[in-house]
Structure 1
Amino acid sequence: MSATSASPSSVAPAPVRRAWIAVLARTPRDDLEAALERALRDIPAPPYDWLRPPEIGLAMVRGRIGGSGDPFNLGEATVTRATLRLRAPAGADATVGVACHLGRDRRRAELAALADALLQMPEHHAVLHKQLIEPLAAQQAVKRAGRQQDAAATRVEFFTMVRGD
């Protein structure tokens, strides 16, 4: 096993990485750019090479009848994805960062892939998680709660009155 594949698991297990990638994928570009700029004040942004530069494509969106029934193809959604590798000193394995999000924003994919790569590095993980992922996740949780309250306000309770036989 190479140090590249060992690096993420030494910092965080796969479900934790999946969670921070999800936070990065749901964050708008302006928020991500500002948060990453603040977090990288003390950390110099390392140089990197593209394994897959930001590219725009389509992904099939699948749905289920009634939420649990048979799956069907609902339609296509525009997505942007990117993969980069941080340049490592000679003899060291480089860290790979990935990003994928809905929409056509190449810069956002670049920022998310860079953040993912830096979060996998043990020397930067704790600081970046605290300054980048936690505030963005909290912001998303507040927005989600607001949407849930708005939806709950429109909920209608249906009930059936049974007539006597």
Structure 2
Amino acid sequence: MQTTQRDPSERRRTARVLSGATEAELAELWRTWPERPEVEYLRGPEAGLVMVQARTGGAGDRFHLGEATVTRATVAVRGAGDEAVGTAYVLGSHPEHAALAAIFDAMLGSGARERVLAGVIEPLERAQHERDLRARRDARATVVDFFTVARENDGSDDEDDE
């Protein structure tokens, strides 16, 4: 079993990209993936609840905001003489999405790392960035700037009575 330690910031980046991708995007990438490794499910995919915490004012005291459904999966992939373990968590009840994300996460810890980075992570990251830009542009187009015009009042209320 490969126990290579990955850089935590890169691990956060790849986990964010895999969980932010759609299930359909991951399924298409997996369907067309050449030389697929053997996959063994070690845990899940299984859905559960996590408690979501927030802070008052963004930096104040913590409070429990509520619960969110999360699906997790842990898999081992074997192929080309190496083995690696991957884990994924996705928001919502999406077992196939979590399983596919865990498979690609495991492959990032295997000999296929560079191919997964170039063929999965980077294209998905670009697509997510474009989606975010479009959403921001669409939201910005609906912004209304309000301003207040002060009415000059000369002090006499006689004109208002007419």
Provide the residue aligned with 2:2 in structure 1.
Answer: 4
CA deviations on 1:76-106 (whole Å, 9 max, x unpaired) are 111100111224799x7x3110010011111
User: How many matched pairs?
Assistant: 150
Instruction: Please state which structure has a larger fraction of its residues in strand.
Output: 2
Given the alignment of the two structures, is residue 129 of structure 1 paired with residue 103 of structure 2, yes or no? no
2:61 paired residue among 60, 70, 78: 70
Could you tell me whether the CA contact under 8 Å between 1:36 and 1:132 is conserved in 2? no
Q: Residue 22 of structure 1 aligns to which amino acid in structure 2?
A: R
Distance in 1 (alpha carbons) for counterparts of 2:120 and 2:39: 20
Provide the residue aligned with 1:142 in structure 2.
Answer: 130
Q: Which piece of structure 1 moves more, 143-152 or 81-90?
A: 81-90
Distance in 2 (alpha carbons) for counterparts of 1:152 and 1:137: 22
In structure 2, runs of 5+ residues without a counterpart are 150-162
5 Å-filtered alignment, 1:7-156, equals 7-9=4-6, 13-38=7-32, 40-41=33-34, 44-87=35-78, 94-121=83-110, 123-156=111-144
Q: Which has the larger radius of gyration?
A: 2
Instruction: Please state which structure has a larger fraction of its residues in helix.
Output: 1
In structure 1, runs of 5+ residues without a counterpart are none
The percent of aligned pairs where both chains have the same amino acid is 38
Per the normalisation by structure 1, the TM-score is 0.79
Q: Could you say what the CA RMSD is over the residues aligned between the two structures, in angstroms? A: 2.4
Per the normalisation by structure 2, the TM-score is 0.80
Q: Residue 33 of structure 1 aligns to which amino acid in structure 2?
A: A
